[in-house]
Chains A and B, each alone.
Chain A
Amino acid sequence: MSTMTLDAAERTESARSELTGKKVAVSQAEVRKTVGQPFSDTAKLRMRDVNVFYGESQAIHNVSLDIGRNEVVAMIGPSGCGKSTFLRCLNRMNDTIEGCRVEGELSLDGEPIYGAKVDVVPLRARVGMVFQKPNPFPKTIYENVVYGPKIHGIASRRADLDEIVENSLRRAGLWNEVKDRLDKPGTGLSGGQQQRLCIARAIAVSPEVILMDEPCSALDPIATARIEELIDELRENYTIAIVTHSMQQAARVSQRTAYFHLGHLVEVNDTETVFTNPEHELTEAYITGRFG
């Protein structure tokens, strides 16, 4: 796969030099250094020199990035650029993948994420995740929301659970739509509602960070707009990292945008800068829809 992308890159380069008569200088060395502002003073998540391998092949090369408190960081890039892989490192969802190896320094509030002594169960309670496809459990709406609090032993009394359900659903902007059918299956909701249920389920355990892996890719524009609005509201209380294929979405919901290319973090900058005047040639090419 990597050879194929390399070929494509070479072809694009030669096409460019034909058109402009100049060799565009996008060497591999240039890709390896992240431009912009990857670091933050209020870092909630701190990643330094992260390398991820799938067996022999390397999926992420030396990525360093901070995700600040109450900040929404969008990760964009072409398919297979490693943005989802990187996101999944943050709550160790890659652990289950056979042959996946993560190197580097990753920490949440200064506490290491990887390490022999780190238990993933409390980590995942602190770092929640929302997936590409809405995936509510085939249980009732109520059971979906209380599942996290139950397994983590946050609450067990009915009244407490009721409160958690109402709060979480309210925050996810779903309460008014489902309050009369909490005992109905979560899978009976519409796609957008299901995704908001998944968000409610994630925030029911009061996480500190929410990771979103293309949360709107299966939704229609109206449902997407609702989720985006929700992300904006959630920013007050949570730190959010979102992977998206929609550049407009990244532009709308995030404060900073990170552009990944072939496993390298090419550029991180204020979202405004990235979308009006990106620093890196490759970012420019990607967000404007050029061959890159």
Chain B
Amino acid sequence: MTNLTQTQVRERIEKNLASRHRTEKLFRGLGIASIAFGVLAVVILFSDIIGKGSGAFMQASIQLEVHYDTEVLGIDQVDDESLTWANFSGVIRQALRERFPSVTGRSDKRELYTLVSSGAPFTLRDRLAENPELLGKSEVVWFAADDDVDTFIKSLKDSKEGFRGRTSDQKAGWIEQLLETGELKKRFNTIFFTNGDSREPEQAGIRAALMGSLFTLLVTLALSFPIGVAAAIYLEEYAPKNRWTDLIEVNINNLAAVPSIVFGLLGLAIFINFFELPRSAPLVGGLVLTLMTLPTIIISSRAALKAVPPSIREAAMGMGASRMQVVFHHVLPLAMPGMLTGAIIGMAQALGETAPLLMIGMVAFIVDVPGGVTDPATVLPVQIFLWADSPERAFVERTSAAIMVLLSVLILMNASAVMLRKKLERRW
């Protein structure tokens, strides 16, 4: 470098300054642009899903005055046996005929009956089972409307005509008539949260899938967290650094990148074919997801252990603490927040997993809400997959609604991870 005077140096610096500022601005602009892109993607995704799915939380319902006529029902007392074969649909049909006395033709009547959901008799049965004294009396009941009615009145908002589909002019007329009198209106959709899956969109709910997910995650958490943490502690604190531990480390990192469907196949081969565990059960799903989340938990737990300052370890060791005391008294409490965060992220990953569960039969059509880890069940993402596949138009909004529920659970889990971290973190 030639000798420069201070003024020359300053001149050169100033010459450079403009371009340096420019690059700086450019870089900052790029950063802002990429964040904007991300935010935009999220906004589009959420607005699309919410726009489509929010309708599912409201369900068209029809108000009918029903008479629990012993003759029509064909029973004279309320007990378990009589309730199973009582003719509740007859009562509903009678109520519909009474509401629309002008309808006479056979085919017209049949069309009239499609106004209410085919699940309506069950609603009535449940009411009577709860209130046996209603037998022989009359009462006003809200029934879920058929999904065609639901779709039609929800689409009225968008265009004057509305989406007709299978709805005839005559039926549209009845619907408008009921709408005017307030006997048909949109009410909060409790069925969506209380029912299991169904072929009828208006009767389909996410409860079964939600419970399935819950049981699966419980199994996953109960297995993967202790195993993952124990493995991480051993590898980080006890294992000697040699070729074997290097090999194990490489393999753990590899496992984290194995496609999840492979774990599904593994689960099918080992847990179902070899150990003969029940198909479609959250137990098997949990086991498979444990295999899948273990690497994530081990890696994040090891990172958390590594982040504990060595000075704390030295201090404890210098006091004469044994290796286990060092780990359990000092290292683990400090690493816990990081480990929990890792576990929750792993759980969130497991919650959203579909592919491996397809392999072990958790994709079956299951109507009943599972009561334990061995009952057949499905999970939220699989339920979304199933609904997205269904032809009925009303399932479109239910699919989006289920996605919304899944996303809320995920947000809840991640938020709790942050909260847990804040609470446990001891940065004194």
Contacts and interface: CB of A to CB of B under 8 A. Distances in A.
B315 A124 contact: no
A148 B320 contact: yes
A23 interface: no
B320 A125 contact: yes
Contacts of A133: 311
B64 interface: no
Interface in A82-108: 91, 93, 96, 98
A138 interface: yes
Interface string B383-413: 0000000000000000000000000000000
A201 B321 CA distance: 13
B146 to A, nearest CB: 63
B316 A124 contact: no
A147 interface: yes
A217 interface: no
B320 A137 contact: no
Contact of B312 (A120, A129, A135, A205): A135
Contacts of B428: 138, 185-188
A137 B312 contact: yes
Nearest to A134: B311
Interface in A119-139: 120-125, 128-129, 131, 133, 135-138
Contact of B319 (A186, A188, A202): A202
Q: Which of B309, B312, B314 has the most CB of A within 10 A?
A: B314
A201 B311 contact: no
Contacts of A91: 318
B330 interface: yes
A148 B315 CA distance: 11
A202 B317 CA distance: 11
Given A131-B314, A138-B334, A201 B241 contact: no
Given A151-B325, A202-B318, A131 B311 contact: yes
A181 interface: no
Interface in A54-85: none
A123 to B, nearest CB: 8
A124 B318 contact: yes
Contacts of B194: none
A152 interface: yes
Q: Which of A93, A148, A151, A198 has the most CB of B within 10 A?
A: A151
B372 interface: no
Interface in B305-358: 309, 311-312, 314-322, 325, 329-330, 334
A243 to B, nearest CB: 14
A135 B319 contact: no
B319 A131 contact: no
Contacts, number: 64
Q: Which of A125, A137, A205 has the most CB of B within 10 A?
A: A137
B136 interface: no
Specify the main secondary structure of chain A where it touches its partner.
helix
Q: Which of under 10, 10 to 19, 20 to 34, or 35 or more describes the interface residues of B? A: 20 to 34
Contacts of A148: 319-320
Interface string B283-322: 0000000000000000000000000010110111111111
B311 A121 contact: no
B320 A124 contact: yes
Interface in A126-163: 128-129, 131, 133, 135-138, 147-148, 151-152
B244 to A, nearest CB: 14
Interface string A151-194: 11000000000000000000000000000000001111000000
Given A133-B311, A137-B330, A138-B334, A98 B318 contact: no
B240 interface: yes
Given A98-B241, A138-B334, A138-B428, A93 B317 contact: yes
Nearest to B314: A131
Contacts of A124: 317-320
A93 B314 contact: yes
A129 B318 contact: yes
B334 to A, nearest CB: 7
A138 B426 contact: yes
A121 B322 contact: yes
A93 B311 CA distance: 12
B21 to A, nearest CB: 39
A59 to B, nearest CB: 18
A151 B321 contact: yes
Given A131-B311, A135-B311, A151-B325, A201 B319 contact: yes
Contacts of B315: 131, 135-137, 198, 201
Contacts of B314: 93, 131, 135
Contacts of A128: 318-319
Nearest to B334: A138
Contact of A121 (B241, B320, B330, B426): B320
Nearest to B322: A121
Given A131-B311, A133-B311, A185-B428, A151 B318 contact: no
A122 B240 contact: no
Given A98-B240, A151-B325, A138 B319 contact: no
Q: Which of A122, A123, A133 has the most CB of B within 10 A?
A: A133
Q: Which of B312, B315, B317, B318 has the most CB of A within 10 A?
A: B318
Contacts of B309: 135
A136 B317 CA distance: 13
Contacts of B316: 137, 147
A185 to B, nearest CB: 4
Interface string A192-227: 000000100110010000000000000000000000
A256 B19 CA distance: 61
A218 B322 CA distance: 28
A151 B322 CA distance: 9
14 contacts: A96-B317, A124-B317, A131-B311, A131-B315, A135-B311, A135-B314, A138-B312, A138-B334, A138-B428, A148-B319, A151-B321, A152-B320, A186-B428, A202-B319
Interchain residue pairs A-B with the least CB separation, the first 5: A124-B320, A135-B311, A129-B318, A185-B428, A187-B428
Given A122-B320, A131-B311, A137-B330, 9 more contacts: A98-B240, A125-B319, A129-B318, A131-B318, A147-B319, A152-B320, A201-B315, A202-B318, A205-B320
